[in-house]
Amino acid sequence: MPTLDARPLRLELGCGAVKRNPGAVGIDTRRLPTVDVVADALEVLRTIPDASVDSVYSEHFLEHVEAPREVLAQISRVLVDGGTCVTVVPHFSNPAFYSDLTHRQFFGLYTFGYWVEHTGLRRGVPHYEDPLPLALTDTRYVFKSSPPFYARHAVKKVLSAWVNLSTWTQELYEEHFCWMLPCYEIAYTVERLPR
């Protein structure tokens, strides 16, 4: 069982019943076989020393958090220079997003741009607070359908390839087509900038 004393330290926030990174320390508020630390993820992050984590991963976690920017601020603090954080969340066009009353935040192409110092996106967005010392290195739309909808899933894989060709096609999709062809989720990758 991985612990917070492990080096290199890798974290998976809100891992739930399925940990995607077996070598990572799984943090969740529920006691499950995959959870290594049963606690609030933000509280755990606050106890970790600066620059001591190599990578952080979360999937369908951040949309449930009351203060996502604070979580990202703690992640940027604990990451080593060049360390990465991958965050997967439902896209705002996902119809299932609205069914889950525990979802508190909406996420789109530019959401992380309001929080981080550098993005590779074409359109700039304002910073209402000091930007976090992170660079957005990748943003990916994920289109998928669950079994038994195999034909729909295949069509969505082709759509995913086209939408993610460039930031131009991503912007075009979100501005004009996301309500006709909803996206399932969006994945952000950020890297810690040198101190």
pLDDT at residue number 177: 95
Distance CA 163, CA 157 (A): 10
pLDDT at residue number 98: 85
pLDDT at residue number 2: 82
- Separation in Å, CA 82 to CA 35, 58, 62, 169: 26, 18, 22, 28
pLDDT at residue number 172: 96
pLDDT at residue number 95: 86
Q: Is the overall model pTM greater than 0.85, yes or no?
A: yes
pLDDT at residue number 60: 95
Distance CA 138, CA 115 (A): 15
Q: C-alpha 194: how far from its chain's center?
A: 21
Q: Identify the CATH assignment for 9-141+187-192 out of 3.30.450.20, 1.10.3720.10, 3.40.50.150, 3.40.50.10490.
A: 3.40.50.150
Low-confidence ranges of the chain (pLDDT < 50): none
pLDDT at residue number 56: 98
